[in-house]
Amino acid sequence: MRNLFISFIFVFCNLLNATQTNLNEKELIYACLDGDKNACMRIIDDDLPSVDECNEERSCILIAHIYMNANLHEYAIPYLKKSCYANVIEACFESALNYEILENYTQAYNTYKQSCDKGFMPSCYNLAMLYVNGLGVAADIKKANRIFFEACANDEEQSCYNLAISYKEGIGLKADRLKAKEFFKKACDLGMELGCKEYKIINAADFSITIKDHLKQQE
């Protein structure tokens, strides 16, 4: 399950600077977004704007993350869905993520698919993982691999890595060492450390095989 929450903190900080809040409120919100659950609960106890009152592109998402950091995921979802309906694609992803945390896998599947179909690759990766694990949908590793392939083509590094594993181990498709090597390298090139590690291992093994073949030819 891929979680983009940390990457959104910078965005929320910009939202705070554009929002009329006093210094104490801002300090509480910063603390909440930094993982202080007590700060989140203090904000919630002071009454947050309702779903009807929040702005789809700004405050709805911020309020949702306050609830998420307080582990009140069921309260975050309506705010995220409002933003999702307004075509804030990241909010669709976060809505699905909350459904998954709450183990409502059918809704998670439907919402990941919605945002994946709109081209949001982290949603595609999480959608594929639901197919891998048979959560909210019948397990289908071949379907998962197809989604990994499409997401990898759009530079989603974890999808490249998982596709490489499938080729390496022959999971849902024919084992292919060269394909595995290709996708490990792409994951590595996209900045995934595990991809780099696996690429070095498979590349070293290939080099070892080449040396052995060369020595045999010299006998």
Domain boundaries, the chain: 1-118, 140-219
81: number of Cβ within 10 Å: 19
Highest mean pLDDT among 154-158, 197-201, 211-215: 154-158
8 Å CB contact between 94 and 121 = no
| 1-118 matches 140-219 in fold | yes
pTM listed for this prediction: 0.83
| pLDDT (mean) for 29-53 | 91
Q: What is the pLDDT of residue 7?
A: 44
Mean pLDDT of the chain: 87
Fold of 140-219: 1.25.40
Residues 218 and 196: their CA atoms lie apart, in Å, by: 33
Question: How confident is the model over 68-80, as pLDDT tens digits?
Answer: 999 999 999 999 9
Is 1-118 a domain of CATH 1.10.1760? Answer: no
* Percent of the chain scoring above 70 in pLDDT: 83
* Higher-scoring residue by pLDDT: 27, 115: 115
Stretch among 15-24, 34-43, 48-57, 129-138 having the lowest mean pLDDT: 15-24
